[in-house]
Chains A and B, each alone.
Chain A
Amino acid sequence: MKIILDTCILKLATLPNPINPSALIVELFLAGDLEAWASPAMIEEYQEVLAGTPELLQRILSELELCYPLTELAVIRHKPDNRFLGSALAVSAEFIITVNTARGHFDRLHYQSVSVLTPGAFVNLPGMRKLVQKRYGGY
């Protein structure tokens, strides 16, 4: 499953929040169950945000698939978000996972074939439920 991880998901994954679907997504990605893609611009942002957790940053960078979108989009009002959408469309990702669904950000449910989901909604997709059950048992 091809996904694009918004940077805030990586930040949330590093925090000991009592309920943390972002950490679950990052774990499944690091375990090779999810295929996350990123452009150099996205990676620069990941590096900035995860500078305080260098080991995790290295693990993430070693697992990411790299893409080079050829066009710069201006679909989303908040400009920096367009690079995530550009990467998603370039690699035909199925999902952008983000918590930033406010107006002017990822405020649509779909951008062409790409669906926008929060981490909580993503881990509750039928396919993800099966994957979680397989990896973590009957919970």
Chain B
Amino acid sequence: MQAKAIVGGKLVSFRLSPALTRAHRANASRTMTDAEAVAFVEKKRRALAMRRAKPYLENHS
């Protein structure tokens, strides 16, 4: 599978490694803007923080 980037004002096609190819296949037809990617990561950060806090919250509620 190939992906593209603009380098030096030219369109560069590059071959994806097997791991990234599988990731692209798994996410086929899903794209994200930069802002959406930032929001996605923030959501995951909050989920991780909540999971970490859960035992404490359960013991102190």
Interface residues of A (CB under 8 A from B): 6-8, 11-21, 23-24, 26-27, 30-31, 44-45, 48-49, 52-53, 55-56, 58-59, 80, 99-100, 102, 118, 120, 123-124, 128-129, 132-133, 135-136, 139
Contacts and interface: CB of A to CB of B under 8 A. Distances in A.
A55 B25 CA distance: 12
B12 A8 contact: no
Contact of A55 (B3, B13, B19, B30): B19
A136 B29 CA distance: 26
- Determine chain A's interface SS by DSSP, over half rule: helix
B25 to A, nearest CB: 9
- Determine chain B's interface SS by DSSP, over half rule: mixed
Nearest to A119: B5
Contact of B5 (A19, A56, A58, A133): A19
26 contacts: A12-B34, A13-B20, A14-B20, A14-B24, A14-B26, A15-B31, A16-B27, A16-B29, A18-B4, A23-B16, A24-B7, A45-B44, A49-B44, A55-B19, A55-B22, A56-B22, A59-B19, A99-B37, A99-B38, A123-B5, A124-B7, A128-B7, A129-B8, A132-B14, A135-B14, A139-B11
